[in-house]
Structure 1
Amino acid sequence: MSKRLWITWENHRRSKELASEFSADYYPLVYEAKRPLRYILLTMRTIMVLLNEKPNVVFCQNPSIFLTALLVFLKTIFNYRLVVDRHSNFKFEHKNSSSIKWRIFQLLSKWTIKKADLTIVTNKYLQNICNGYGGNAIILQDKIPNLSRKLKRSPPSFMREMKKPQVMFVTMFDPDEPVDEIIKAGKNLSDCVCYLSGNYKKYYSSLEAEKLLDSNIVLTGYVSDEDYLSLMENSDLVVVLTKKDFILNCGGYEAIAMNKPLILSDTPTLRSYFGSAAKYTKCRVSEIQYKIMESVNNTNIMIENTTMRKLELEDSWTVKFGAVSDVIDDIVNKVS
């Protein structure tokens, strides 16, 4: 059995799940600091891991593009095969940017795709993009995580007015998320309590967040993984929205794992994968609001649909994972 490592500079649920499935030792090298200090220290830690472990196969998560470029550069020195889990970190919206930052990103993006032994993506469109760059890409979506517990998690302390429908928006306050539209829709949902996860300080001050409580909108800020899962488990509805296509949201997988009624953005990529497990909305205030009210009145039917689709996705994922494992074994054996 080859020595396998999974290195990431972000501690991400998808990476943890896939590392376990691929029998790779998981190394989340996380250090909070400003660039370039963060990159320098994480580069040193990454090299130390490679020196100590001497892997045959290295998996890495992209983002970070810098980590991926580093591991491409080092692969001939340490003589390992490199498998990059690319997520959807392509930044197509900056493809034609004149900014030096985004020109460098696009150059590194194409170079790392071409030089990696295998790139894992989540849909056919991204696979075609990678292969067009001269890479070797294969499709594998997130595994539905096992988030079940024998005893239901208690609601986190910030949940309120539990007799009202509880709506969780899985957000990171990233540019692709319709945060303004979510807030405006939430203000019109007086019969519900809306929670937005993630670092709201990218958008709002603490004073603004406090004022939103009057509209039953709770900006949770960063919370522990346990509080995040407790919020999801005790919510009546989970909403995960993006303005981009070619993205499969991790929050969607988590909601399905808990058999939660789910609303996603109305994109071809999300519809084709999640199917009947969700309702879909455009990122417009009126439609978000309408879909939420429709969903909170039909949660039993939505739970049934989610449960059935979850079984289908789990079976499909097992088959796809077997195919990806075979490809990785072939890559390793050709070199051994």
Structure 2
Amino acid sequence: MTPAAGRDPRLLVLAWDRTQPRTRALGPALGGDSRHIYGGWPGRHRGLLPVRYVADAARMWRRLRQERPDVLVVISPPVIAPLVAWLWSALHPCRLVVDCHTGALHWPKWGWTRPLHRLLFRRAHAVLVQTEEDEARLRAWGTPVVLLPDDLPDPSEADPGPPGRGVPRVVVAGSFDWNEPVAAALAAAALVPEVEFRLTGDVSRLPRSVRAGAPANVVFTGYLPYAQFLGELLTVDVVAVFSTDPHIMNRAAFEAVGLGRPLVLSDLPGLRARFGEGAVLCPNDAASMAEAIRLAQRDRDILAERSRALRRRLQAQREAALAQLQSMVRSRQVPAAGARVRSHP
């Protein structure tokens, strides 16, 4: 399972999604390429999901036949993607790595896939995770696991953001997922009328009554392409990211830190461990959110410097994890089951 003599291994990262910033950055960081599988037929209707999985599996197989990777990194969820990747690696000289996002192990809709994931992970050369909690779980399963923090975007990746209006502004970064306390964030905005609250995400995912009842200082930006989203973060005084999911590792928090922005987060164990030294943390109730945003607005220069310091630490952790992963996938030996790979003390 090694590449032909005289050439470097061909590495490919694959995700079944329109786009994922973590996935897009991972391929080049490992000296390879990233691809997203997101086809047209048979459409996105929920009732057609089984048919779409079959279609996406066929698209993925065609892509693998075209690119013939020596190392294949596949993102889960959905679990069908690593199942296809495992079959490919069983039939071809290819090493399998799974990048297991937190939703694969913790979101209720993927609960039925945990036995499948456990079986797949035992057949993978390595499994990437985002949190210490998941690292401990997979190690207990006998999985060769690497804790890999997300990439940290640079301001050069951002498009110019909207011009300021002479009032303090905060971006509440999200996508209106089920685990975002949107109602509490809107209630917090009503408590801080002097601050403009800019909520990102596809507003069609919100009930019309929620949009209609938003305070006057709330702006719904709609879905923003990634470079435009980063530009939005650069133009505001504070970036806030709220979630009720106790297992989450917020992508937008990495983006705020990468851009050196003052950060407010929900006070959840994983987020406190990863970002606590640089962020203001608060419970998910309106009064606490409003107070945290006032505090971050007041101390924004101090918090911006803390974000820059945290960026340096997280970048060092990521580089160490990437180096270890590269060593693992280029090694002739598969790591022993349960091997532990850490990117930090």
Q: TM-score range by the shorter chain?
A: 0.7 to 0.9
Q: Aligned to 2:122, what secondary structure does the other structure show? A: helix
1:153–1:233 Cα contact (<8 Å) kept = no
2:275 is the alignment partner of 1:274: yes
> Could you list the runs of 5+ residues in structure 1 that have no partner in the other structure?
95-100
Shift, 1:83, TM fit: 0.6
2:160–2:231 Cα contact (<8 Å) kept = yes
Q: In the TM superposition, what whole-angstrom CA distance separates every residue of 1:204-232 from its partner, at most 9, and x where no partner exists?
A: 22x753553x5221222222223212211
Give, in whole Å, the separation in 2 of the partners of 1:183 and 1:196. 9
Task: Find the counterpart in structure 2 of residue 317 from structure 1.
Answer: 318
Task: Find the counterpart in structure 2 of residue 139 from structure 1.
Answer: 147
Task: Find the counterpart in structure 2 of residue 126 from structure 1.
Answer: 134
Q: Relative contact order: is structure 1 or structure 2 higher (C-alpha 8 Å, sep ≥ 6)?
A: 2
Q: Which amino acid counterpart does residue 334 of structure 1 have in structure 2?
A: Q
Task: Find the counterpart in structure 2 of residue 28 from structure 1.
Answer: 36
Give, in whole Å, the separation in 2 of the partners of 1:88 and 1:76. 26
Please report the TM-score for the alignment, with normalisation by the length of structure 2: 0.85
Write the mapping of 1:254-293 to structure 2, written as runs, cut at 5 A.
Answer: 254-293=255-294
- Equivalent residues, number: 320
Write the mapping of 1:86-235 to structure 2, written as runs, cut at 5 A.
Answer: 86-92=100-106, 94=108, 104-148=112-156, 153-156=159-162, 162-205=165-208, 208-209=210-211, 212=214, 214-235=215-236
Question: Structure 1 residues 180, 3: CA separation in 2 closer, same or farther (over 3 Å shift)?
Answer: same
Give, in whole Å, the separation in 2 of the partners of 1:71 and 1:188. 50
2:282–2:288 Cα contact (<8 Å) kept = yes
Give, in whole Å, the separation in 2 of the partners of 1:315 and 1:208. 42
2:104–2:110 Cα contact (<8 Å) kept = no
Q: In the TM superposition, what whole-angstrom CA distance separates every residue of 1:296-316 from its partner, at most 9, and x where no partner exists?
A: 111111112112222222223
Write the mapping of 1:69-84 to structure 2, written as runs, cut at 5 A.
Answer: 69-84=83-98
Task: Find the counterpart in structure 2 of residue 98 from structure 1.
Answer: none
1:275–1:309 Cα contact (<8 Å) kept = no
1:6–1:59 Cα contact (<8 Å) kept = yes
Which range moves more in the overlay, 321-330 or 16-25? 321-330
Q: In the TM superposition, what whole-angstrom CA distance separates every residue of 1:150-182 from its partner, at most 9, and x where no partner exists?
A: xx85333xx7x7211111011121122212211
Which range moves more in the overlay, 115-124 or 293-302? 115-124
Q: Aligned to 2:240, what secondary structure does the other structure show? A: strand
1:50–1:78 Cα contact (<8 Å) kept = no
Q: Percent identity?
A: 22
Give, in whole Å, the separation in 2 of the partners of 1:16 and 1:153. 18
Q: Aligned to 2:276, what secondary structure does the other structure show? A: helix
Q: Which amino acid counterpart does residue 23 of structure 1 have in structure 2?
A: G
Task: Find the counterpart in structure 1 of residue 4 from structure 2.
Answer: none
2:155–2:259 Cα contact (<8 Å) kept = yes
Please report the TM-score for the alignment, with normalisation by the length of structure 1: 0.88
Cα RMSD (Å)? 2.2
